[in-house]
Amino acid sequence: MRLFLIFAVIFWAVAALAQDEQVTPEEQTNPAEPRMTVERLAEIVMAIDEKALLQGNAMQLTLLDVPILVVTDPIADRMRAMVPIRSAEGIDPAELLRLMQANFDTALDARYAVAKGRLWGVFIHPLSPLEKEQFLSALAQTVNVARTYGQTYSGGAQVFGGGDSNEIYRGLLEDLLKKGEDI
């Protein structure tokens, strides 16, 4: 128990230090790309969906018939892309466990989250260091976690190792092979 507490304190301290670090323009991943702003994000959203609705710091767009809400807070330097999936009412403990497993290994940078009585697919990131390709990937992953809910719970084609999903997929594959399905 003592070792766990020591690990928890070290983890918390490292996480707190990491949150305090600010990304300078020189540290940006792609210095040729301008810092993300609400205006720049809106331009990207409009290029994706010319029928997108822009209201202040919120944007609504549709991608593959999936509605997406993008909310920004330039003062806090945050952005959030969200896709409503279903009511959170009636989600049983086994389903919640599966959602948490997917958050660990298959949802990638998107996450399943519950807020305001709904289950959401979400991607949350600091606004200013967000790059265009990261944002596009975030939208794809967020749409994917919504579309694969109840099935593979996946943000994309990759699985981060060390979690439970590989075993679940292996079990699914074995079941399908037993049934004689063409894989």
Model confidence over 125-170: pLDDT tens digits? 999 999 998 999 899 899 999 999 999 888 876 555 556 555 544 4
**21 within domain boundaries:** no
66 in a structural domain: yes
Question: Residue 135: what residue type?
Answer: F
CATH number for the domain spanning 111: value is 3.30.1460.10
Residue 23 lies in a domain: no
List the one residue out of 67, 140, 127 whose CA is nearest residue 59: 67
pLDDT tens for 87-136 read 999 999 999 999 999 999 888 899 999 999 999 999 999 999 999 989 99
105 is a domain residue: yes
Query: By three-state DSSP, how is residue 12 classified?
Result: helix
Domain assignment present for 51:
yes
Domain count, the chain: 1
Q: Could you tell me if residue 9 is inside a domain?
A: no
How far is 134 from 132, CA to CA, in rounded Å? 5
Domain assignment present for residue 11? The answer is no
Domain residues for the domain of 40 are 35-179
Residue 156 maps to a domain = yes
